[in-house]
Amino acid sequence: MAKKTKKIETPIDQRETFVSIQKSFADSDLSVEEKLKTLYALQQADTEIDKILQLRGELPVEVENLENEIAELKAKSANIMTKIDDANKSIAENKLNITECDAQIEKYRSQLDNVANSREYDSLNKEIENQELLRQIAEKNINETKDAIAARKADLEDIKARVAVKNDDLKAKKQELATIVESTSREEEKLRAGRDAYAAKIDARTMSAYDRIRSSCNNHLAVVSVFNGDSCGGCFNTIPPQRLIDIASNRKMIICEYCGRILVNPDFE
């Protein structure tokens, strides 16, 4: 008994076009005509979904951008708050240094009354001068840190105002987007269900070429019908008479020689 030869599936090349799969297009459980009709129905569903997405416009992107901007501003605000906390700790440390300097100065001054010689007297005065210098440095640090805190608090107020404005804008855009989504959600759900049903009937190789050509065209049309009796519905170039006959027969895949789209019988509409 002769063994059945197993068909070898070649890997899908993401660069493939309809021209590449033209010869193998008929190799399917569906007839060529049914496959062409399914592809055209798939294209029609995708076109209607595109219209819904176009109705939403840039709103989804704008909402996402606003959310990112608000998150960045809040992160910046948190960073400033951390710096203010660190600055307040620095002020507390400098105040403690001043207290310690005052204590040292008081101790050295009390020792001046009991010095035995001029050398010891000069040494104590030197220590007092050092402590007073350290005290002045600590006071300067405190003042500069307070100025920095004031500037950072002003930045916080500015960020707070910007966040408030962006939150209002975000709320308005979300509401606008929600209204559009609500009004089109049922239609989109129905279209996507139909789209998935059509796509399930098409082999992976043809779907890969379909998706690639759709993404490369400005109007996202990969399958078009004959326009005005003799032109490609995608690029509007004139189709040769013999190709028009082949398209009308629904027996083979016909590709526009100018734009690479599948051309189908206008009766499919």
Closest CA to 187 of 62, 61, 53: 53
Confidence of residue 14 (pLDDT cuts 50, 70, 90): low
What is the separation of C-alpha 35 from the centre of its chain, rounded to a whole number of angstroms?
A: 36
User: What gap in Å lies between CA 265 and CA 224, rounded to an integer?
Assistant: 9
The whole-number pLDDT of residue 26 equals 67
User: Would you say residue 141 has pLDDT above 90?
Assistant: yes
pLDDT tens digits, one per residue of 26-59: 666 778 899 999 999 999 999 999 999 888 888 9
Query: Comparing C-alpha atoms, which of 195, 202, 184, 196 is closest to residue 253?
Result: 202
| Pairing mode, strands 223-227 and 262-264 | parallel
pLDDT of residue 100 exceeding 50: yes
Report pLDDT for 96: 96
Task: Could you list the beta-strand ranges (E) of the chain.
Answer: 223-227, 231-232, 254-255, 262-264
Using the predicted structure, report yes or no on whether residue 1 has a pLDDT greater than 50.
no
Neighbouring residues of 125: CB distance < 8 A, sequence distance ≥ 6 = 112
pLDDT in the model for residue 167: 96
Q: What percent of the chain has pLDDT over 90?
A: 68
Mean pLDDT of 235-244: 93
CA distances (Å), origin 188, targets 62, 166, 181, 182? 21, 30, 9, 10
Q: 116 falls in which pLDDT band (50, 70, 90)?
A: confident
Confidence tier at 203 by pLDDT (50, 70, 90):
confident
Q: For position 72, what pLDDT does the model report?
A: 96
Question: Can you tell me whether residue 228 is helix, strand or coil?
Answer: coil
User: 178: how many CB neighbours lie within 10 A of its CB?
Assistant: 13
For 18, phi then psi, to 5°, come to: -65, -30
Answer with the residue of higher pLDDT: 242 or 16. Answer: 242
Q: Are 109 and 127 in contact (CB under 8 A)?
A: no
Question: Are the C-beta atoms of residues 27 and 253 closer than 8 Å to each other?
Answer: no
Specify whether the CB–CB gap between 57 and 50 falls below 8 A: no
Nearest Cα residue to 173 out of 58, 38, 45, 27: 58
Q: How far apart are CA 254 and CA 23, in angstroms?
A: 11
User: Confidence band (pLDDT; 50, 70, 90) for 11?
Assistant: low
User: What pLDDT is attached to residue 17?
Assistant: 74
Q: Write down the pTM of the prediction.
A: 0.59
